[in-house]
Structure 1
Amino acid sequence: MIARRCQPRLDLVVALVLAGCVSAAWCAVIPPGTVLDTRQEMVRNTGFEPDSLDPSISQTDGSIAILSDVFESLTALDGHDQVVPGMAESWRRVDALTWVFKLRPNAMWSDGTPVTAGDFVYSWRRFLDPRMAAFLASSIGVVVSNGAEIVAGKKPPTALGVRAVDSATLEVTTAVPTPYLPQLLAVPQFAPLPRATIEKLGKDWTKPGNMVSNGPYLLRDWQVNSKVVLVKNPRYWDAPNVVLTRVTYLPVEDATADLKMYQTGENDMTQTLPPGSFQALKAQYPKEIHNSIVFGLRYYALNNNDPLLKDVRVRKALSMVIDRDILATKVTADGQVPAYGLMVKGVVGADVVRYDWAGWPMARRVTEARKLLLEAGVQPGTHLKFTYNASEYHRKVGLFTASEWKTKLGLETEMDSLEFKVLVRRRQDAQYQIARDGWIPFTPDPTGMYTLVRCGSEANDSKYCNRHADDLVHQGELTTDPSKRQALMTEAARLVMEDYPLIPLVQYSVPRLVKPYIGGYDEVNVQDVHRSKDLFIVKH
Structure 2
Amino acid sequence: MTHKKAMIPTLFMAAVVAAIPATHAADVPAGTQLAKVQELVKGNGAEPASLDPHKTEGVPESQILRDLFEGLISSGPKGEVLPGVAQSWETKDNKHYLFHLRKNAKWSNGDPVTAHDFEYAFKRAVDPKTASPYAWYLEIPTIINASDIIAGKKPAETLGVKAIDDYTFEVQLEKAVPYFVSMLSRTTTYPVPKKVIAQFGDKWTQPGNMVSNGAYALSQWVVNERIEVERNKHYWNDAKTVINQVTYLPIDNNADLNRYLAGEVDMTYQMPIERFKQMKKEKPDELKVTGYVGTYFYTFNVKRKPYDDVRVRTALTYAIDRNVIADKVMGQGQQPAYGLVPDFVDGFKPTAPEWSKLTQAERNTQAKGLLSEAGYGPGNPLKLDLLYNTDDNHKRVAVAVASMWKQLGVEVSLVNQEWKTYLDSLKQGQFDVARRGWIADYNEASSLLDLMQTTHGNNDGKYSNPAFDQLMDSSRDQVDAAARSKVYQQAEALLAKDMPIAPIYQYVTARMVQPYVGGYPANPLDELHSKEMYIVAH
The verdict on a shared fold, with TM-score over 0.5 as the criterion, is yes
2:30 is the counterpart of 1:27: no
The offset of 1:242, in angstroms, is 0.5
Structure 2 residue aligned with 1:4: none
Distance 1:78 1:95 in 2: 25
Matches within 5 A, 1:238-257: 238-252=237-251, 254-257=252-255
Distance 1:327 1:361, change over 3 A: same
Show structure 1 runs of 4+ deviating over 4 A.
none
1:307 to 2:305 alignment: yes
Deviation by residue 1:276-297 (Cα, 9 ceiling, x = unmatched): 3222211111110011120001
**CA distance in 1 between partners of 2:108 and 2:395 (Å):** 43
Q: Quick check: 1:78–1:534 contact (8 Å CA) kept in 2?
A: no
Per-residue CA distance 1:322-372 (angstroms, 9 max, x = gap): 111111111111111100012111334544122212121222111111111
| Structure 1 residue aligned with 2:154 | 155
Q: Which residue is 2:63 aligned to?
A: 65
Q: CA 1:267–1:141 in structure 2 vs 1: closer, same or farther (change >3 Å)?
A: farther
> Given the alignment, which residue of 46, 49, 57 partners 1:51?
49
Displacement after TM superposition at 1:249 (Å): 0.6
Aligned residue for 1:165, secondary structure, equals: strand
The Cα of 1:404 is off from its aligned counterpart by 0.4
Residues 177 and 479 in structure 2, CA contact (< 8 A), matched pair in contact too: no
Provide the residue aligned with 1:428 in structure 2.
427
Please list the CA deviations of residues 236-288 of structure 1 after superposition, one character each: whole Å capped at 9, or x if unmatched: 00000000000001111x21111111111111111111113222211111110
Native 8 Å contact 1:98 1:172 kept in 2: yes
TM-superposition CA deviations, 1:145-186 (whole Å, max 9, x none): 211111111111111111111111011112322222222111
SS at match of 2:498: coil
Q: What's the Cα RMSD here?
A: 1.4
Q: How does 1:444-459 map to 2 (within 5 A)?
A: 444-459=443-458
In structure 2, relative to structure 1, the CA distance for the partners of 1:413 and 1:275 (3 Å cut) is same
Amino acid at match of 1:310: D
SS at match of 2:199: helix
Residue type of the alignment partner of 1:25: T
Distance 2:345 2:285 in 1: 30
| Partners of 1:346 and 1:444 within 8 A in 2 | no
Segments of 5+ residues of structure 2 without an aligned counterpart are 1-19
2:469 is the alignment partner of 1:470: yes
Instruction: Look up the match of 2:478.
Output: 479
1:350/1:487 contact within 8 Å kept: no
Q: Distance in 2 between matches of 1:31 and 1:345?
A: 33
- Select the residue among 132, 135, 140 that pairs with 1:134: 132
Whole-Å separation in 2 of the counterparts to 1:446 and 1:510: 19
1:332-351 to structure 2, matched below 5 A, reads 332-351=330-349
Displacement of 1:139: 3.2
CA distance in 1, matches of 2:340, 2:391: 25
* SS of equivalent to 1:426: helix
**1:78-157 superposed matches below 5 A:** 78-143=76-141, 144-157=143-156
The one-letter amino acid paired with 2:37 is R
SS at match of 1:131: coil
Change over 3 Å in CA distance of 1:24–1:108 after alignment to 2: closer
In the superposition, relative to structure 1, how do residues 475 and 451 fare at CA in structure 2: closer, same or farther (>3 Å)? closer
Secondary structure of 1:503's partner? strand
Within-5 A mapping of 1:177-256: 177-252=176-251, 254-256=252-254
1:390 counterpart residue number = 390
The aligned runs of 1:395-434 (5 Å cut-off) are: 395-407=395-407, 409-434=408-433
Give the Å deviation of 1:23: 4.8
Return the offset for 1:447: 1.7
The one-letter code sitting in structure 1 at the alignment partner of 2:273 is: P
Cα distance per residue 1:356-412 (max 9 Å; x no partner) = 1212122211111111111111123321211111211111110100000112x1111
Equivalent residue for 1:356, pick from 344, 354, 357: 354
CA distance in 2, matches of 1:351, 1:538: 40
Paired with 2:85 and 2:356, the residues of 1 have a C-alpha distance of: 46
Query: Residue 80 of structure 1: SS of its match in structure 2?
Result: coil
Residues 261-276 of structure 1 correspond to what in structure 2 (within 5 A)?
261-276=259-274
Instruction: Measure, in 1, the Cα distance between the counterparts of 2:451 and 2:190.
Output: 24
SS at match of 1:329: helix
Identity over aligned pairs, percent: 38
Cα 1:259–1:526 change in 2 (3 A) is same
Partner SS for 1:364: helix
Tell me if structure 2 keeps the 8 A contact 1:277–1:333.
Answer: no
1:24: Cα distance to partner?
A: 6.9
1-structure distance, mates of 2:335, 2:291: 8
CA contact (8 A) 1:276 1:334 kept: no
Alignment-derived partner of residue 11 in structure 1:
none
> Helix, strand or coil: the match of 2:227?
strand
- In structure 2, the residue corresponding to 1:111 is in which secondary structure? coil
Q: Secondary structure at the match of 1:495?
A: helix
More moved, 345-354 vs 47-56: 345-354
Paired AA for residue 388 in structure 1: Y
- SS of the residue aligned with 2:246? strand
Amino acid at match of 1:400: A
Conservation of the 8 A alpha-carbon contact between 2:291 and 2:344: no
More displaced 10-residue stretch of structure 1: 490-499 or 64-73: 490-499
One-letter amino acid of the counterpart of residue 80, structure 1: K
Equivalent residue letter for 2:156: P
1:171 aligned partner: 170
Q: Aligned-pair distance for 1:67?
A: 0.8
Say yes or no: does 1:322 pair with 2:320: yes
Report the equivalent of 1:17: none
Correspondence 1:483-522 to 2 at 5 A = 483-522=482-521
Matched-pair contact (CA < 8 Å) for 1:139–1:459: no
User: Within 2, Cα distance between the matches of 1:140 and 1:497?
Assistant: 27
Unaligned stretches of 5+ residues in structure 1: 1-21
CA distance in 1, matches of 2:482, 2:289: 33
Deviations 1:499-532 (A, max 9, x none): 0001100011111100000000122x11001100
